[in-house]
Structures are given as structure tokens and as C-alpha cells.
Chain A
Amino acid sequence: MSADFDPLRYRADFPLLARRVHDKPLIYFDNANTAQKPQAVIDAVDGYYRDYAANVARAVHSLGEQATAAYEGARDKLAAFLNAGGRDQLVLTSGTTQAINLVAYSYALPRLQPGDEILVTQMEHHANIVPWQLVAARTGATVKAAPVDADGVLQLDRFEAMLTPKVKLAGVAHVSNVIGTVNPVAEIARLCRARGVPLLVDGSQACPHQRVDVQAIGCDFYAMTGHKLFGPTGTGALWARREHLQAMPPFFGGGEMIRTVSFDGTVFADPPHKFEAGTPNIAGFIGLGAAIDYVQSVGLERIQAYEAGLLAYATRALQSVPGLRLFGRAPHKAAVLSFLIEGVHAHDVATLLDHEGVAVRSGHHCAHPLMQFFGVPATARASLSFYNTREEVDAFVRALDKVRRLLA
């Protein structure tokens, strides 16, 4: 743990973290589900609606120009944050799910042939499985999953062996939302590139915890979401290589994505606006821009170092709880702890922890295939952030011990 990192200093920036639940101080351990928002983000959203609410890219009045500058400024911030190599390679979406669906329908669907394969991994979120299944069903392609080992680590040799000439696209989580495994996405990108297979990386869980450089990864597509990165819900992005975006047809049609429209033919705008039909989530992206400024001011490297220490501390603490089984022991993992207590259902754990003020998620975490691999219907999941503390971990473990004594 970096000695100079004081989580209490940052907690004060998040108004919600001061609240109580069931008359106990809130311990928010559901950050992989959604993260809380710093005051700077709340102020940015509020400021837009108070001071310069207007539509973007069409009004010439002052408010419109101010809104457009703030909205496109947020794109620039996100482009710099991801090292996008050009704002035209960054399509703003409602989140990761829309970003992956955009690739599925606009990139994959026109290219897939019967017998083709889309290769994903066993640890994917449903958002990186179901869109591929939908386009596979329309084209006669199939979705294959590379296996993980007992520790929840992707079996890279198996992934490589499954990268046959039939594979037309690969989709891999940067970080598993269930077990925190950090996949070697740059190495995976090298394997894919050597075989001419475009790679999509689902970066939902990576962006809040580590510096992401999409060009260094070397993938073709990178999908991310804003609300896990301390920004508003309904914000996200697809980063894609310029040549892909130029070749892809629009996914949604409407205003904002055209240059000229006539009944003889319509000329589309250039990327990224070609993929951004309709009025976007202007306030949300202005808020996301503020979230990025905030995270940069804290420092991704410092966040990553602090969270690694907190994860090690929490892992040791959980291992002291009798009958507790941890899922996922990857050597390289983010601060996500999936667990079950022998004889206790995950939902009972979550309900009882809530009574102690501790918010965790219980269920299948939108990853049925991984649950099937572990042979359980559900787990409880504690996912930590840089504003969480060791004292909160201690209180969480004390609460878990109460749950165990009550139910197990």
C-alpha cells in the first residue's frame, strides 16, 4: 500500500459516502456494479442544466456553442484518457453494452458467414456474449468460449489454439467483473493480430482501476462505460481503429449523424458522429469529463497501487472467515472478491450485510457461463474502490462473521 495515499481525503469528495444505511455508516462495496460520484461530477451535470443547457452541434446561439464545446471537450478528455490517437476514433455511446452492440451489428453482422466463429472467454459478462449470439444466429456463425482454469485465469494456450481461421472476431474482458482477473490483453491482441482476427476488449471494469492505453494494447475495438468510472449513468464509448469506423455502416439513423439528407440519398457525417444519431446524453458526458479530470487528479497509478494493497488486505481478512470460499485467485487481479459462505445463500448474505450497512452484490453478476464453471448459481461479491478503507474491510469481515453465526 502506498503510504502517501489517504483514502479519507478522497472520501470527502463523495457526498453519498457520508450517508447511513439501517442506521450504520454505509460501506459501499458494490463498485463493480456502479461507482459513486464525486461532487465535481454532480456539479458539472448541475452546471449544464443551470447555466447553459442547449442542444449540441446545431444551435448557433451562445448556449448551444457553450454546450457543444463542453460536450466535445468531454470527448477530448476521454480520448486523452484512453490515448485514443484521435478524437475521430472515439464514438460516444450509452455505455459498454451499446458499444459492443455497435460492433456486433455494424462491423460483425455484414461480415459473418455460415460456419464462422466469434471467440470469447468463459469469464465474459453477458454484454460480451449475447450481442455475438444475436448476430451469429442471423448469419449461421457460432460463438465459442475459451476456458479459464480453477483460479479463474484465462487459459491462453487454449485461447490461441481456438484462434483458427474460422474465427472472424474475438471479444475479451480486460478485467472480469465477477472475479477481478486482469487478462493479458496486449498479449491477446498480438495473438489475434498475427492471425488477422480483430479483437474487441471489454474495458468496463478496467478503466476505474488502472491506466488504459488502447494503442499500447493493440486491439481493434475497446468498449468502456462511464458510470463505473465515477461518471453519470448512460455514458460510455467505443474506441475503434479509424479504418474500421470508416468502413462500418451507421447503426442508428437520424439527426446529428448526417451531412445532407434527401430522398435520393443521404450523405453521412464522418466518424465518430456517423454513429451518434439523435441528441446525446449531453449532461452525462459533461459529467464524465469531470469524472475523468477527477480520476486524473487522484492518479491512476496511485489508485492501482492503493487498491492492490487493499485487495491483499481484504483477501487475507476473508480467508480468516470459517467456511468462506473465494472464487478467483488470479495472480493479477483487480479488487473484486466473489465469495460464498458454506451453507449460506448469497442473497441471504447480501440482505444481512445490508443490515450492517454493507452494500455488496449477490447473484450471477450477468455471467452465467462463469457461474456454471464454478458450479454455483450465485455468489456474493465485494468490489472495492480507492475510497474504501481497511477499517471498512474490518467492519465487513465482522459483519460476515455475524451472518455466518446466524445462518451457517
Chain B
Amino acid sequence: MSALYRDIVLDHHRAPRRRGHLAAPSHACDGVNALCGDSLRLELRVEQDHIVDYAFRGECCAIATATASLLGERVLGLAVDAVAPLQQAFAALIAGGEADPALGDLAALAELASYPARRKCALLPWAALAAALAGTPRTTTEKDPT
């Protein structure tokens, strides 16, 4: 029906991985796009500068949910320093750039290049991840009223 909603995206929308709570998160952030109605809470456990646990929950569209799910799979075990370059690679990809192999399954969202209005949905979990690591409790990827 649409190249954006590929099987892997639909799979992570229907059965999100790492959805729920962490018992003892060291970092957390609420990502809220109030205008569009996406809201998720992302929790992390960071030990020795590595992400050792990840969970999210919330009410989001399929694109934000699938991204949050794929993101958890990708960053688990990753060094905290490696998140920012990966985030940049993802932002470049959905703006129409080349797929960095480091993105793994997250490259399934490349079709967002054709959907400028929906990019903020996929960027929300990333922004929440970066904000959580920076110690910021709340973030958004909405800049302009829609």
C-alpha cells in the first residue's frame, strides 16, 4: 500500500520490542509532539558509558513506534558516544541521503525522504534518546505548528 510502511516497519509497529518500563533507569526522557499527538517515554540504563538497557512506552503513530522499537534494538550495548553520530546518520538518511551501514534495520525508514511531514515522527525517539543521555527530562521534534 505504501513503501513507507514496509514489512519490517509494520512488524515493529505491531510487535514493538522493549516496550515497557525499566526497574531502575539511570536516564529517562518524555518525547512529546503535542500537535500531532505522539507521546513516548524512553528509559535507559547506562553503565560504564554503555547503554545496557532500554525501554519505551507511549501512544504514537506507527512510524514513531517502529522507530523507537528499532532504535532500542540498535543501541543496546552501544557506547554512549556512538549515539550522536548514529543519530546524524539517521537524520541524513531520512532527508534523502545515503544509508550508513551502521544504521542496520533502521535503514527501513529511508522512505521518509518522500514524507517531509512525517520525519518528525521518526525523529522523536531519537530526540528522546539524546535528551535522556543529556539529562533533559522532556523534548519534542515539533517546531512549526501543523
Contacts of B121 in A (CB 8 A): 347
> Separation in Å of the B54 CB from the closest CB of chain A?
22
CA separation between A348 and B118, bound complex, in Å? Answer: 9
Which residues of chain A from 199 to 248 have a CB within 8 Å of any chain B CB?
none
> B2 is contacted by which of A345, A347, A352, A364 (Cβ under 8 Å)?
A352
Interface membership of chain B positions 20-60, coded 1 if the CB is closer than 8 angstroms to chain A and 0 otherwise = 00000000000000111111000000000000000000011
Say whether A406 faces chain B, with CB atoms less than 8 Å apart: yes
Interface hub of A351, A376, A378, A407 (most chain B Cβ within 10 A): A351
Please tell me if A346 contacts chain B, counting CB pairs below 8 Å. yes
Q: Mark A352-366, 1 if CB is under 8 A from B, else 0.
A: 100110000001100
A377 at the interface (CB under 8 A from B): yes
Majority secondary structure of chain A interface residues (helix, strand, loop or mixed)? helix
Are A346 and B1 neighbours in the complex by a CB distance under 8 Å? no
Cα–Cα, bound, A377→B61 (Å): 11
Q: How far is the CB of B116 from chain A (nearest CB, A)?
A: 12
Q: Is the CB of A406 within 8 A of B10?
A: yes
Q: Which of B2, B4, B37, B62 contacts A378 (CB 8 A)?
A: B37
Chain A residues positioned under 8 Å from B146 (CB to CB): 363
Closest to A406 in B: B1
Q: Bound state CA distance, A402 and B38, in angstroms?
A: 23
Residues of chain B within 8 A (CB-CB) of A179 are none
Residue of A with least CB distance to B3: A355
In-complex Cβ contact of A363 among B2, B36, B118 (8 A): B36
From B1, B34, B59, B62, give the contact of A356 (CB < 8 A): B1
Q: In the docked arrangement, what's the CA distance between A346 and B117, Å? A: 13
- Sort chain B's interface into a size bin: 20 to 34
Give the chain B neighbours of A406 by CB distance below 8 A.
1, 5, 10
What is the number of residues of chain A that contact chain B, defined by CB distance less than 8 Å?
Answer: 18
* A403 interfacial by beta-carbon distance below 8 Å: yes
Contacts A363-B35, A376-B37, A378-B37 given; does A351 touch B2 at CB 8 Å: yes
With A345-B62, A347-B118, A347-B121 known to touch, is A352 a contact of B37 (CB < 8 Å)?
A: no
> B17 in the interface, Cβ–Cβ < 8 Å?
no
Contact of A364 among B35, B39, B60, B61 (CB under 8 A): B35
Q: Do the beta carbons of B1 and A402 come within 8 Å of each other?
A: yes
The minimal Cβ–Cβ distance linking B85 to chain A, given in whole angstroms, is 29
Per the bound structure, the CA–CA distance linking A356 and B1 in Å amounts to: 8
In the assembled complex, the Cα of A345 lies from the Cα of B39 at a distance in Å of 12
CB-based contact A407/B37 at 8 Å? no
Contact across chains for B59 and A407 when beta carbons are under 8 A apart: no
- Which B residues lie within 8 Å of A347 (CB)? 36-37, 61, 63, 118, 121
**Of A352, A356, A376, which is within 8 A of B5 by CB?**
A352
Interface centre among A344, A402, A406 (most CB of B within 10 A): A406
On whether the beta carbons of B37 and A351 are closer than 8 Å, the reply is: no
Instruction: Tell whether, in the assembled complex, residue B2 and residue A377 are in contact, meaning their CB atoms are under 8 Å apart.
Output: no
Q: Chain A contacts of B1 at CB under 8 A? A: 352, 355-356, 402-403, 406
B37 CB contact (under 8 Å) in A344, A356, A377, A403: A377
Cα distance, A386 to B38, chains bound together (Å): 34
Complex CA gap A227/B62 in Å reads 33
A346 to B5, CA, bound (A): 15
Cα distance A377–B59 in the bound complex, in angstroms? 10
Tell me which residues across on chain A come within 8 A of B38, comparing CB atoms: 345, 377
With A345-B62, A356-B1 in contact, is A407–B36 under 8 Å at CB? no
Binary contact readout B59-81 vs A (1 if CB under 8 angstroms, 0 otherwise): 11111000000000000000000
> Which residues of chain A from 362 to 407 have any CB-CB distance to chain B below 8 Å in the complex?
363-364, 376-378, 402-403, 406-407
A407–B2 touching, CB < 8 Å = no
Residues of A within 8 A of B35 (CB): 363-364
- A363-B146, A377-B37, A378-B37 known; A407 vs B10 contact (CB < 8 Å): yes
Smallest CB separation, A123 vs chain B (Å): 18
- Neighbour of B63 across the interface among A348, A355, A377, CB < 8 A: A348
Nearest chain A CB to B37's CB is how many angstroms away? 3
A348 touches B10 (CB 8 A): no
Please, which residue of chain A has its CB at the minimum distance from the CB of B118? A351
Could you list some 7 contacts between A and B, CB below 8 A? Answer: A345-B38, A346-B37, A347-B63, A351-B4, A377-B34, A377-B39, A407-B5
B-to-A contact residues, CB < 8 Å: 1-2, 4-5, 10, 13, 34-39, 59-63, 115, 118, 121, 146
- Beyond contacts A345-B37, A407-B5: 12 other A-B pairs, Cβ-Cβ < 8 A, are A345-B38, A345-B61, A347-B37, A351-B4, A351-B115, A355-B2, A363-B36, A364-B35, A377-B34, A403-B1, A406-B5, A407-B10
